[in-house]
A and B are shown apart, each in its own frame.
Chain A
Amino acid sequence: MNAILKILPVALLLSVQVFASDSTRVKKRTVKEENGGITLPKGFKAVVVADNLGTVRHIVAQSNGDIYAKLDRVKNGKGILRLRDTNKDGVADEIIGWGDYSGTGITIKNGYLYASSNTDVYRYKLDEKGNVIDTGKAENIITALINRRTHNTKSIVLDNDGNIYVNIGAPSNACQLTDRTIGSPSSDPCPLLDSTGGIWQFKADQLKQSYHNGIKYATGIRNVVGLDWNQTTNQLYAMQHGRDMLNTLFPDMYNEDQSAELPAEEFLRISKGDNYGWPYCYYDQFQSKKILAPEYGGDGKKQGRCEGVNTPIYAFPGHWAPNALLFYTGNQFPEKYKNGAFIAFHGSWNRAPRPQTGYFVVFLPMKNGMPDGQYEIFADGFAGEKIDPKNARFRPCGLAQGPDGSLYISDDKKGRIWKVTYGNK
């Protein structure tokens, strides 16, 4: 039985009242701020679908227009929310929740809703109208994946052949014996790569799978939060969060400016068996190559064993924290957006003492599955006046494409979701 998610009218600009007669219907007044407080390119506009939902991580849109959101922290006993806009004004007027587990990943494929905790993946069967048939009946398809706090979120995506891909982040910055500690050596080989630091492939329809029947699909990837399946190339793509603390750990080798920009946040086009080199290598976007990490004898220039390691198809500046990747396949936006990549950057912290940045959604034009030009900032203004992780007003974390080609953006700071449309849509 679905229970109502109680939404408190915390924001001054939003007033939410719950109808006593129907526990799942909310009457709302839309947020009055222009575009819900964000800025967009000319011709685009945004409405706030819902606000103050909690720590909304990834989101997905159903073919009927419903939005499903995964919460990083269970709120009022609910970790999954379904938002429904019955009168088609863009604003959710029905919100229900269930799923008593925290997590990040959520996606829909072939009649099932998939959601992840920080150790497990569950799925729920949908009926022909796109409703979850029984929210109390979660099929536990993957279990007991490693969760050692750091990089513990499990993002998920499916291919067209019945497989699901799960990132298992390395619980470490650079595989040091003692994490993030000056002078602590890094193991060689890094033992964490056995069970973390990569993307694993499982069957989408088998219960209780774990490491013994999963396939390590790609390795040497420190942590991924944003990933998507590209329908043009029928391939997995992901955004890696690059390592931290080059200056803090190696002040003689990297100054604060270099440490703020390096290493790149890598956009990966992944084939089975790929190795992207973590923790031995990182990508330097100025030298356009994989560089040997200082823990493994690097000096900021040497390539050594990193020669021949798989490289990204595009490199973004360091520490921006890409938390969502979405290939746009809709018809609503102008032609240049078709099959291009939207990437939601959560925003940096490890650029300090340099100014923080990255609290925005970028667009990268793509052609035949490869970048076709340079990125541009698509949606901005999320942080507000103070651009740092503590004071940022919103932090972009999830992306979804609606059936009408609208783009949805989620924030995990307060839990706002925007619907971005083009033209008169």
Chain B
Amino acid sequence: MKKVFVAAVTGIGLVVLMAAQTKPTQTKPGQTKPVPNNAGNKQTGISKKSLADGKKVYDTYCLACHQADGGGVPRLNPPLQKTEYVLGDKKRLITIVLNGMTEEVEIDGELYENNMSAHNFLSDQQVADVLTYVRNSFTNKASAVTPAEVKAVRSKLK
């Protein structure tokens, strides 16, 4: 029979070169739309812990395809930089992480062909952290994603 591997979230010694990484910036809680770079610098809403934990999840499960700078791979893996998918509707974004994505997606005129696997094995907290990290990295700036929001989406998917 096939082996089923349970992902070990901890204990994976990742040494990731993140030199090119944009420093995460802060935004106010509850915002649903991206804000300009010169706004929302108050240290409210997005915790450093959430960003740090989110980066760990990103480096383990996302970076291989979406790359260290969120740039993705033309024709294959969608970018996470300033795209409507990342900055827009949080429910859709959470659904993509939980369900994966196997349909054709076009972003800025480019089609992406690789399948994204479902990441429903991540906890509500992990999904919230990684999406908060992604929405505030790679030049992105958007509101945090909360575990409650992830839980609400997850409960409707089953």
Contacts and interface: CB of A to CB of B under 8 A. Distances in A.
Given A252-B8, A350-B64, A353-B59, A178 B118 contact: yes
B113 A184 contact: no
Given A248-B61, A250-B5, A252-B8, A181 B71 contact: no
Contacts of A391: 71
Interface stretch (B49-57, B73-81, B123-131): B73-81
A107 to B, nearest CB: 22
A162 interface: no
Given A353-B16, A389-B74, A178 B117 contact: yes
Contact of B67 (A247, A248, A252, A388): A388
Nearest to A295: B2
Given A149-B104, A295-B2, A352 B63 contact: yes
A239 to B, nearest CB: 18
Given A179-B102, A350-B64, A353-B63, A150 B115 contact: yes
B68 interface: yes
A11 B75 CA distance: 22
B68 A352 contact: yes
Contact of A180 (B73, B74, B117): B117
Contacts of A329: none
A77 interface: no
Nearest to B111: A73
B12 interface: yes
Nearest to B112: A149
A413 B118 contact: no
A25 B117 CA distance: 49
Given A247-B64, A390-B73, A353 B17 contact: yes
Given A352-B63, A353-B59, 15 more contacts: A150-B113, A178-B117, A180-B116, A183-B6, A183-B7, A183-B121, A188-B2, A247-B64, A350-B65, A353-B14, A355-B17, A388-B71, A389-B67, A390-B71, A390-B73
Interface of A: 72-73, 149-152, 178-186, 188, 245, 247-252, 256, 294-297, 349-350, 352-353, 355, 388-391, 413
Interface of B: 1-8, 12, 14-17, 59, 61, 63-65, 67-69, 71-77, 79, 100, 102, 104, 111, 113-118, 121
Query: What are the 7 closest A-B residue pairs judged by CB atoms, nearest first?
Result: A390-B71, A185-B2, A181-B117, A179-B115, A349-B73, A149-B113, A389-B73
